[in-house]
Amino acid sequence: MQPAKVYFTDFRTRPGRNIIKKFRSLMNKAGLSDIDFEGKMVAIKIHFGEPGNLAYIRPNYAAEVVALIKELGGKPFLTDCSTLYSGLRSNAIDHLNSAMKNGFSPLAVGCPVIIADGLRGIEYREIPINLKHCQTAKIGSAIADADIIISLNHFKGHEQTGFGGAIKNLGMGSGSRGGKMEMHSSSKPRIVGENCTACGICIDHCSQQAISLSEQEQAMIDEEICIGCGQCVALCRFNSAQVVWGQSAEVTTEKIAEYALAVVSGKPNFHINIINSVSPNCDCWSHNDAPIVSDLGIAVSYDPVALDKASVDMVNQAPFLTASVLAGKGCEPGDDKFTLIHPNTNWRKGLEYAHRIGLGCLDYQLLIES
Ligand code: SF4
Ligand code: SF4
């Protein structure tokens, strides 16, 4: 198999050639216009960012993708599915308000913004995949019904998959509420009792009412009710609610790959990783910790696996920033930064599985554009 082509440009600019112009050139060079967009509905899958997080993708990038697709005759819309956990993107109303607050208004981006899985996250299509973990994938209707898929991804660390790029945005991000439950359900958290201060934050925010206080004044999780959404892990400031990984971390990444394959199968698709503000964790958090490397650039490809592999390789080859979470972790040049930060994750297994099921290629040719 031929290596997949990944096109990359850095963030250097000069008068008359700003980053938006470079971005458009990159998309053209990579052959985005080879797709027949005429009259087609084009889902641009994006993460609008949880309010309070400032590492998410600037709307300006989305606006440029939209402008190019419209020039090519397509009907683009920006889209995402709502979250499983409580927060400011857990239903279509809150999610749209959050998107607008973060700058993704139709006026700014030049197209409609549609929450793909409806008002309460239950509008989905079941796409047959018949793979190791999932027989079908429950994909938000607006994404499932689109003719063409573009993923516009902020590349960063992720607490469950090591890093988040195209595959994470496509797979987990396109799952409806039920789909997200299916992907999360093998990784339920546990409470480490000695750390628990009984602050009650996890209890207040558990959408399933699965947490209560024991007689010893420690949080405890009812595993029968828990759906493994990870919200309590995200909210606990005392490292008491922890994800139980092991085998299940790999299963989660494999399920995400299966869902990503369901999203793109049989449709023209193209993928964009913006590698800046590379925060240690997902944009689902309402804060973003300091970036772990300098802003590197933009990578695009028809192949989401090759794109993510090229992106993770570039981040791992870059010097780490000393004012980041990596300080004091003994990070050497070339070390796997994402595994240092999230030692219980295994992004390599996820990429290998994505390759095995036919989502894309692990070998890539990096073509640098100035
Ligand atoms: S948020 Fe953490 S410290 Fe607070 S009750 Fe829950 S587990 Fe305990
Ligand atoms: S206990 Fe389970 S359902 Fe509740 S917030 Fe934690 S992971 Fe989610």
Q: For 17-26, 54-63, 175-184, 347-356, which range has the lowest pLDDT when averaged over its residues?
A: 175-184
Is residue 246 over pLDDT 50? no
For 290, other C-beta atoms within 10 Å of its C-beta total 16
Rounded to whole angstroms, what are the CA distances from 200 to 209, 219, 222, 232, 258? 12, 8, 15, 10, 36
Q: Are 155 and 164 in contact (CB under 8 A)?
A: yes
Q: If we measure between CA atoms, which residue out of 244, 239, 238 comes closest to residue 223?
A: 244
- CATH code at 4-185+246-368: 3.40.50.11440
Q: Kindly indicate the confidence band of residue 187, based on its pLDDT and cuts at 50, 70 and 90.
A: low
Smallest CA separation from ligand 1 atom 4, residue: 199
Q: For 3-17, 26-40, 76-90, 91-105, which range has the lowest pLDDT when averaged over its residues?
A: 76-90
CA distance linking residue 18 with residue 11, whole number of Å: 9
pLDDT tens column, 273-325: 999 999 999 999 999 999 999 999 999 999 999 999 999 999 999 999 999 99
Distance 199 CA to ligand 1 centre (A): 5
pLDDT (0 to 100) of residue 11: 98
Distance 56 CA to ligand 1 centre (A): 27
pLDDT (0 to 100) of residue 161: 93
Smallest CA separation from ligand 1 atom 1, residue: 236
106: Cβ below 6 Å to ligand 1? no
Q: Select the CATH number that applies to the domain covering 189-243 from these four: 1.10.600.10, 3.30.70.20, 1.10.10.10, 3.30.310.50.
A: 3.30.70.20
Instruction: State which ligand 1 atom lies nearest to the alpha carbon of 218.
Output: 8
Distance 190 CA to ligand 1 centre (A): 11
For the chain, the structural domain boundaries read 4-185+246-368, 189-243
Q: Kindly indicate the confidence band of residue 242, based on its pLDDT and cuts at 50, 70 and 90.
A: confident
Distance 93 CA to ligand 2 centre (A): 22
pLDDT tens column, 21-45: 999 999 999 999 999 999 999 999 9
CA distance linking residue 77 with residue 92, whole number of Å: 15
CA distance linking residue 77 with residue 115, whole number of Å: 10
pLDDT tens column, 54-75: 999 999 999 999 999 999 999 9
